[in-house]
Amino acid sequence: MILPKVLAVGGVYRVVFGEPASFDVEWDGKGYSIMMPYRERLKLRQDGGKEFRHYLSDIFNGLLAAGLAIEQVVESRRSGRSDLEPEPGTWTHQEMYVAGEFAVVTRKG
């Protein structure tokens, strides 16, 4: 994990991660199925972007090893939309079953 080296003592660092459980799930017409084993990996997206999957322990232990104190963890939906009946298989529908992302707020000691 790359952290800013310019963060002053007492400075706040906030980072947002995609919820690892939301990767590689697909709607099968009845529910969401996990399609691949959970492991660290790189995923190339169709839009050219790259997604890196990390274990939660790597994320939190990396922040702590960098000398940051965890002050808050906030779990949230990706879209923030509140459709009552979103189309199955869409992000909004998936978020009803699997959280979208989480933010970690830390402070440098």
Q: Residue 55 and residue 5: Cα distance in Å, rounded?
A: 23
Tens digit of each residue's pLDDT (9 = 90 or more) over 57-79: 988 999 999 889 999 999 876 65
pLDDT of 82 reads 63
Global confidence as pTM: 0.68
DSSP alpha helix (H) spans, 1-109 = 56-65, 91-94
Tens digit of each residue's pLDDT (9 = 90 or more) over 28-47: 888 888 877 777 678 787 88
Q: Residue 5 and residue 15: Cα distance in Å, rounded?
A: 15
* Numbers of helices and strands, H then E, in the chain: 2, 7
pLDDT of 105 reads 95
More confident residue, 92 or 77: 92
pLDDT of 94 reads 80
